[in-house]
Amino acid sequence: MSYLLANFSGLETFFAFCAIIGGVFTLIRLILQFLGGDAEGGDMDGELDIDTDGSDSDLGFKILSLQSLSSFLLMFGLVGLAMSRQSGFAALPAVICATLAGFASVWLIAKLFSLFNQLQSSGTLPNSAARGATGSVYLTIPADGQGRVSIRVRDRLREYDAVSSNGEEIPTGASIEVVDVRDEVMVVSKLS
């Protein structure tokens, strides 16, 4: 290692160390993700209960993460070393280019993760989507109580608690239609 760095100036050595440190942290994070390690944070249990998820932090703390720091150092070091060593730039232009490249990589990664987060969905089906759906009674709906119905909503068969819309008993197996949704309970009417 010292032989490799022997031909480097002080600034080039600094760039090389930044690239190595950023690369090591990026590699460790990548290996942990492939092995199923918790690379996103979570609750660290121990003497202190520290929330490392950062879901309630502001943008400044989300940008200052280990991931963004390692990508900044990696790009800062690589671009700085390339500008200084290969292109022959002076110290100040090399540092400026390296800094811009580091910030560009942090911005690009933040933008990519923002786009990835937009692809996520909760997967929950809102109960209001059941309004107008048809199905059948799974457990008899008594005149003054709740029963259970099976309803197909957005190509998914679901079971819900249900009450009769007009207060009459609806027997098991009867065809029904959802006329209203009250909290978690479907208000249904019997189809003829």
User: How confident is the prediction along the chain (192 residues), in pLDDT tens digits per residue?
Assistant: 566 666 777 888 888 888 889 989 989 888 888 887 654 544 434 443 444 444 444 454 456 677 788 888 999 988 998 888 777 788 888 889 999 999 998 888 888 878 888 887 766 777 778 888 999 999 999 988 899 999 988 888 889 999 999 889 999 999 999 999 988 899 999 987
69 and 41 assigned to the same domain = yes
What the block records as the tokens of 67 is 């991931």
Distance of CA 66 to the CA centre of its chain: 17
154 and 111 assigned to the same domain = no
Assess if residue 109 is contained within a domain: yes
135 and 184 assigned to the same domain = yes
Q: Residue 151 CB: number of other CB atoms within 10 A? A: 22
59 and 132 assigned to the same domain = no
Domain ranges, residue 102: 8-119
160 and 105 assigned to the same domain = no
How many CA atoms does the CB half-sphere of 186 hold within 13 Å? Answer: 33
154 and 90 assigned to the same domain = no
167 and 110 assigned to the same domain = no
Q: Please tell me the distance from the alpha carbon of residue 79 to that of residue 156, in angstroms, as a whole number.
A: 52
Assess if residue 152 is contained within a domain: yes
Assess if residue 1 is contained within a domain: no
Assess if residue 3 is contained within a domain: no
Q: Please tell me the distance from the alpha carbon of residue 181 to that of residue 168, in angstroms, as a whole number.
A: 18
